Amino acid sequence: MASHMGDGAKEEFLRDFGEHYGYPKGPKSIDQIRATEFKRLQFQDLVYLDHAGATLYSDLQMESVFNDLTSNVYGNPHSQSDSSSSTLDIVKNARLQVLDYCNASPKEYKCIFTSGATAALKLVGEAFPWNCSSSFMYTMENHNSVLGIREYALGCGAAAIAVDIEEDIHPGITGETLTTKMSLHQIQRRNVARSTEGESTGDVYNLFAFPSECNFSGLRFGLDLVNIIKEDSSKILGISSVCKNGQWMVLIDAAKGSATMPPDLSKYPADFVAISFYKLFGYPTGLGALIVRNDAATLLKKTYFSGGTVSASIADIDFVKRREGIEELFEDGTVSFLSIVSIRHGFKILSSLTVSAISRHVASLALYTRRMLLAMRHGNGSSVCILYGHHNSKKLHHEMGSIISFNLKRPDGSWYGYREVEKLASLSTIQLRTGCFCNPGACAKYLGLSHLDLISNTEAGHVCWDDHDIINGKPVGAVRVSFGYMSTYEDAKKFVDFVASSFVSPQNHINHGNQMKGFCLEVMGSNCGNNLSAFGGLENGFVDTGYYLKSITIYPIKSCGGFSARSWPFSSNGLTYDRQWILKSPTGEILTQKKVPEMGFVSTFIDLSQGILFVESPRCKERLQITLESNVYEDAIEDIELYGQRYKVYSYDNETNAWFTEAIGRTCSLLKYSSFNQDFTLKKIKGAATCRDMKNKLNFANEAQFLLVSEESVCDLNRRLSSDVQKGISGRAIVQVSASRFRPNLVVSGGRPYAEDGWRHIKIGNKHFSSLGGCNRCQIINLALNSGQVQKSNEPLATLASYRRVKGKILFGILLKHATIDGEQQQGGDSWLHVGQDIHPD
């Protein structure tokens, strides 16, 4: 039935988009392309939706590249040998191919190869003839690589101005007319040291920059802007004095837009166009091009010279004769000729499908997805999805590219964090992108972030790529999906279904985004109800029983294996010696299983009577022994920062470090906790919650002194994992996990599953502990270490996400801190925990 319903949905899609979807007149259908040229996507069950970041190379393309490179000899094109001459000819043909892609005449344009689109943009910025009367104008929707040109302009005393562009359609007797309006932001100036008096207007050159397609919203800019700016700039620039002087030149950032709609330079003769090849056909990376008009190139001022850019130079006097060819003058050193040789195989793929067919195919998927997202409603009727960009139904097909940028709302109107969306998408094997996408202007414009918002967020510590997605109730970025020429209806459908199943609330009430079912949602001040219907396999009439401490586990070295003990002492830092050591890379990075899963194979054991830490690894013949209170270099104390706190640590000798380097397969050094500065914490984001216990002493634990997991909760999770497989949800073999998968210090037995969620305080023996809340889980729990192999899957995190989600966090287990009550320390009580002790929640 599900399959039949799915076929019906596709039939409806094809009725609407079949004329444009799937290359109906091409040499291969989209299904054939995916089956033969992108088998890896099917093998990994992966939906890839970040083509604006980097599209995918095809098997056929890479086979052609491999055969080419293994069948031919390509030499340095600066040499004179036969192989070098042959390479030079291919490089020349590649230039023509790039020009042809943008319909640029070789008589009017040249193609300069660069290390990428960013390098092409940088070249324009550093070589443009700026002076104090120049202006650099750019649309708000621009990549940081374009905004960076501002530094060159301002450094030379020029003005920089951001602008907003709006296009209005007016109906008329003879048809619709398009009016372009431009509004200027404040004028930026720096270092206006030189007087502009005496400078001829003819010597003033201005630069206007815009993207052919905004990489944040997918909005396509009308290329008529090129002609308007170059021929009649006063028409839209107004009478601002900063814009009146000199000649205007135009730069198009086509890195994203050229994948589906390259600029036609015969109609829109821009002076500079930057493109990136991996955004066109996935490979090669590290190669881009600047397409430049010949007359514009003559104005560029080149300072540096290198091999290949000069005809002659003398080492001990100030003499250099530069080459006259535009490409030769600006391509420093040897070009990446093997990459340049490879682009013809990518262009061959695009040519076989045609760019117009690719554009129609991608547009059909993007329009379908936008419609489906906009139609989503919560049970109370509120909208689920807020799209960014222009979305007038008459313009969708023409004005929007392959990008869809959005944020999601809960039924109560609050926002889901984009990191939550990305995290859950990854569990569903959907690859997308979140953040501002290096486009701060578009991000601020569409999200309504003021200058004060942006500056205060930055001063509070928010930076690109961090986990702070909602600050003071506002999203600071968005979710972006983007389609490529090999994307399918099934990709779009799986994504739409993912959003519907994960973020649409069918209930006609406000649930504040909590997905935790059948048990209390808040740790503080709540009581667990008796509704156990959500727990598969639980019998009616289940009676709560007593709790006892089932196991104690200590993890001496962070992210390495731990060991269990029947009894163990603890202190104000947590269990004695727990996470007291860490491994650090030569670059200063603290190593964990997230990046080095092999750390899990390093086993540890502490013999308190001998005062020795024993460490073993299957990669090392000898067992390492570390004396607990010595072996360190007392004089070699250094400071490190971790989790917003500053620690003093001891280091070890080269022999110890070499042992760990062999054990985990990468260079590292062992450090031991000494102390930490309780007065020092990094700035915390206001309004962004943190789970880390900042008020109490910690060794190198992520969040708290102790992590507690319930045996009954683990059993319930395993029942759900088995049930999902039986229902055919996961499509994989049954996955069962033990409590150790969650790396707890304490495992309790007894009671109901998830009863621990409601505990505020507990007593173990005669010791008191306070709950800090649930433990937010990450992908590490999906790593299974079996027979010396690291096995990765989506479980158990995917199943936990289906019922243990609270506002972006997937909770399992609780965090504890030791609480001193009624002079406990003064009573000289036993500071040990013992397996079998009774546990009494409040």
CA atoms of 489 and 508, how far apart (whole Å): 31
H-type helices in 666-792, by residue range? Answer: 711-726
The alpha carbons of the chain give a radius of gyration, in whole angstroms, of 31
> Residue 585 in contact with residue 667, Cβ under 8 Å?
yes
Tokens representing 705? 């002194």
Q: How many CA atoms lie within 13 A of 397 on its CB side?
A: 7
Burial class (CB in 10 A: 0-12, 13-18, 19+), 109: buried
Size (the chain), residues: 842
β 761-764/109-114 pair status: unpaired
Tokens representing 439? 């486009």
| Closest among 767, 752, 743, 720 to 815, alpha carbons compared | 743
What separation in angstroms does the CA of 253 have from each of 147, 250, 321, 686, 748? 11, 10, 32, 36, 59
CA atoms of 56 and 34, how far apart (whole Å): 11
Structure-token match 């001040």, residue found: 525
Residue 313's H or E segment, with its range, is strand 310-314
**Phi then psi for 667, rounded to 5 degrees?**
-65, 130
Which are the catalytic amino acids?
438
CA atoms of 384 and 378, how far apart (whole Å): 6
CA atoms of 220 and 399, how far apart (whole Å): 5
| Closest among 524, 534, 633, 640 to 591, alpha carbons compared | 640
Residue type, 839: I
Residue 294's H or E segment, with its range, is helix 294-297
CA atoms of 716 and 537, how far apart (whole Å): 8
Q: Which residues contact 308 (CB under 8 A, 6 or more apart)?
A: 78, 323, 328, 331, 332, 333, 334
> Residue 756 in contact with residue 710, Cβ under 8 Å?
yes
Please report, for the chain, how many H helices and E strands are present, in that order: 23, 39
CA atoms of 808 and 83, how far apart (whole Å): 58
Q: Which residues contact 437 (CB under 8 A, 6 or more apart)?
A: 52, 215, 216, 405, 443, 480
CA atoms of 704 and 570, how far apart (whole Å): 13
